[in-house]
Chain A
Amino acid sequence: MMSLTLEGVVLIGALGLIVIGALGMAISNHLFRMLLALVLAESGANLLIVLSGYRVGASAPILGFGDPTAPMVDPVPQVLVLTAIVIGVGVQALAVALLLKVYRVYGTLNVRELRDRMDADVATAAGVEADASQDAPAGERPLPPVPAHASVGSGGFGRRGPVPFPPQSDERRP
């Protein structure tokens, strides 16, 4: 019973990490937070791999370590998880490098702003008219546009200058 509890708890923890990471990637509005959420999800998957070979009470699979007649945990997943961790770290490092370059070009890491500006860029490069932003209201604007740097949700890394306080953008919207 005891073994079931411990393994069950870790299993739920691993799946929970993956779910938290997935949700974080889905709802975060800042590229760096997305990356952090990915790191969480990856550690969940790695935990799941280690768990797949784990047996409660078994010793580490090292020769001359502990009682040789006692059961050992399966060493294969532990080897696999090393590979998975290394690959994961490599991909994350690449992601951070890309983030730096993106920030240098666009000056923001806010997902919505980047999406709009990239769509505009792609459209310009292709010589076609850009589709309207998904966040833009349909029809004519009754109000002057809100400056980009004051828009809601641009996180700490995304600001491109001092944000006036109190924010003026709120006064314009009824």
Chain B
Amino acid sequence: MEYVISVLLSGISVGGQYALIAIGYTLVYGILRLINFAHGDVFMVAGLMGIYFTATLPISVSLPLVIILTVLLGFTIERAAYKPLREAPRMSVMISAIGVSYLLQNTATYVTGGQPMTYPDIPFLSSTVNVAGTHTKWVVIITPFLVLVLVFALTQLINHTKVGMAMRAVSKDFETSMLMGIRIDRVISATFVIGSALAAIGSILFFTNYPAITPTAGAMPGLKAFVAAVFGGIGSIPGAVIGAFLIGICETIIKGLPSSWDVSVFSDAFTFALLIIILVFKPQGLFGEAATDKV
């Protein structure tokens, strides 16, 4: 019983962290129709920055700094690597995204020397707590609530502010929005800013409970978060969040199965199996809208 609770708790927590990354994917895809392969690596870079900053600066300064610099990184990537390709075929932009991902990973290898880096203890988040007889870190408990608060704030932003309205318009129809005088570039930048900020927060939560960061540590959570976004229906924020929780929980359950079954190697593969099943049977995802092509 205690074991079940601890697996579920960490599942929900991992799911929440995926959710924060998945929102970045779903927002960007909704507007640019681009799988931002570099998003997972932005997340990894945020983790590394967390390590380097907390080593020299107090937590109260370094964590906000991590978020600000991650936002700046996301913004810069969009301006430098995606904006010049606005008129290019979709494949080119995706290749550019893969290139950025490659660059971030290689830079991280260079800076860290390829060594796994341990994430610092963050007061309170890293301290343990006893829930229903199982010991766990505070971060596990806090994550789902924090995610819900952030998602609520984000939906408010999207539904009740001017920039949110613009974002919705652009994701519905790129060309028309442009004709209606919406400043596309600003909206896209706003999307990357929000996505990166959430990824930075996600990285703090994720890596606090994770043994070490390597330069490729972002790739897998990134892909899983993308799968979550597809699962929930790409472009839909609640969809991405639900998908992320589901994937996080399933993954920890698979990892928690008896070791004699030896199925833990499939914890990543499971996510992709789920992706293929959803793409084949319900390509628009759980909450997505079906799109039709005009001939």
Bound together: no
Which A residues contact B (CB, under 8 angstroms)? none
